[in-house]
Amino acid sequence: MKSSPLADRLRPQSLAEFAGQTHLTAPGKLLAAAQASGELPSLIMWGPPGTGKTTLALILAKTIQAEFVRFSAVTEGVKDLRRVIDLARSNRLLGRATILFIDEIHRWNKAQQDALLPHLETGDIILIGATTENPSFEIRGALLSRCRVLVLNPLSKDDLLGVLRRAVSDSERGLGGLNLKIDEDNLNLIANLSAGDARTALNILESASFLAKDISREVVLEAAQKTALRHDKTGESHYNIISALHKTMRGSDANASLYWLARLLEGGEDPLYVARRLVRFASEDIGLANSRALEQAVAAYQACQFLGLPECKVHLAQAVVYMAKCVKSNKLYTAYEAAARDAEATGELGVPLHLRNAPTKLMKDLGYHAGYKYSPDFDYQEEQEYFPPELKGKKYL
């Protein structure tokens, strides 16, 4: 029988073995308190992959001696839920709790999430939902209000190094029986490549152990191949990183701007999306302080259309650095916003007669266009009101 993957064999069996998330597991914190009391509220665990959501759920179930039922939101639905509720009610009669663990709970639709509500109210089940997506966007408010939301963070480098050292030395569940040779530099390299994900770190180590017993830098890189940067083009990461790029260019830090651009592009972002954001930035944050910024942004967009990836990366880099180094002004943006507020509040105001078009005799008879001063005839020095009377003298710029 083939052995299970290293990441599964080395899964912590208690909070004492668990790496990271001390803001939840340290003495006096929520999960430690739940372990001590034997009582557990329904939870939503939100965090990136490999941070311990499933492991914590298993530990908690073991701690309170609850039956653990694991669901995948991708493959199971309301029909399967009914079977679990029947089991939970039977368990309850025997004095035993039932934990329903729903992986990727954000994939359940509104009706499926609503189906959980009455069973949380009656206490038939304790829900632990795991999600990599922001719960406030993906999970129904009614369900969130009945759960505690726990935020799990990417593991620190020190946490990952602890996991890796344990894997190398543990003869019973880890790779200790292989007598691997790997120095601290290469353990650090694996930790760096893993981006806070313990599962990724252990997978790289295990793959490296298949390649050689003396694990060098070259072996680690071969095992890791090209580790995917953590960037979800449709999730919160997408919005957080583009926000970071926008704010960093606004703050005129060209070096950090290049970093956030690289995070987007190397993570698989559509270059045309980035280029569209630059076009917006050119007018919103630079505007008339340097009108050439808009030309640069549009040129970068066109270059992306002409060339595509990977060639267009350099054009986006040029535009991003240009934007970061430009003198900034948001006057156009704030002026338009102020004008838009007035437009919404005074949309019933008519256009002054002298500014109206008069293509017919009836319109002329009604005074349309009457008294209008044609600017070139006055060398553009005419005195003429262009606002409705109610807004006379209004200044936006």
Reported for 391-394, long-range contacts at CB under 8 A and 24+ positions apart, including other chains, are: 391/342, 391/346, 391/349, 394/342
- CB-neighbour burial class of residue 374 (10 A; exposed 0-12, middle 13-18, buried 19+): exposed
Q: Which residues contact 252 (CB under 8 A, 6 or more apart)?
A: 324, 325, 326, 328
Distance CA 160, CA 19 (A): 8
Q: E-assigned strands of the chain?
A: 43-46, 67-72, 98-103, 126-131, 148-151
The answer, yes or no, to whether residue 163 has pLDDT greater than 60, is: yes
Measured torsion, CA atoms of residues 200, 201, 207, 211, in degrees rounded to the nearest 10: 150
Q: pLDDT tens-digit profile of 376-393?
A: 989 999 999 999 999 988
Q: Give the predicted TM-score (pTM) of the model.
A: 0.62
Distance CA 162, CA 396 (A): 59
Q: Which pLDDT band, with edges at 50, 70 and 90, does 108 fall under?
A: confident
The answer, yes or no, to whether residue 290 has pLDDT greater than 90, is: yes
Q: pLDDT tens-digit profile of 303-339?
A: 998 888 888 999 999 999 999 999 999 999 999 999 9
With the C-alpha atoms ordered 232, 236, 238, 244, is the resulting torsion angle positive or negative?
Answer: negative
Task: Name the packing angle between helices 313-325 and 254-266 (round to 10°).
Answer: 150
What is the pLDDT, as a whole number, of residue 139? 87
Q: E-assigned strands of 156-244?
A: none
Q: pLDDT tens-digit profile of 241-265?
A: 889 999 999 999 999 999 999 988 8
Task: Name the packing angle between helices 313-325 and 236-250 (round to 10°).
Answer: 50
What is the pLDDT, as a whole number, of residue 281? 96
Q: Which domains does the chain have, with CATH numbers?
A: 21-151 (3.40.50.300), 157-224 (1.10.8.60), 236-325 (1.20.272.10), 332-391 (no CATH)
| Residues of the chain above pLDDT 70, percent | 96
* Residue 138 CB neighbours (<10 A): 20
What is the pLDDT, as a whole number, of residue 249? 96
What is the pLDDT, as a whole number, of residue 2? 47
| Residue 130 token pair | 């795991």
The answer, yes or no, to whether residue 70 has pLDDT greater than 70, is: yes
- CB-neighbour burial class of residue 377 (10 A; exposed 0-12, middle 13-18, buried 19+): exposed
Q: pLDDT tens-digit profile of 45-68?
A: 998 888 899 999 999 998 888 899
Please work out, in degrees rounded to the nearest 5, the angle formed at the alpha carbon of residue 44 by the alpha carbons of 130 and 239: 75
pLDDT, average across residues 218-225? 88
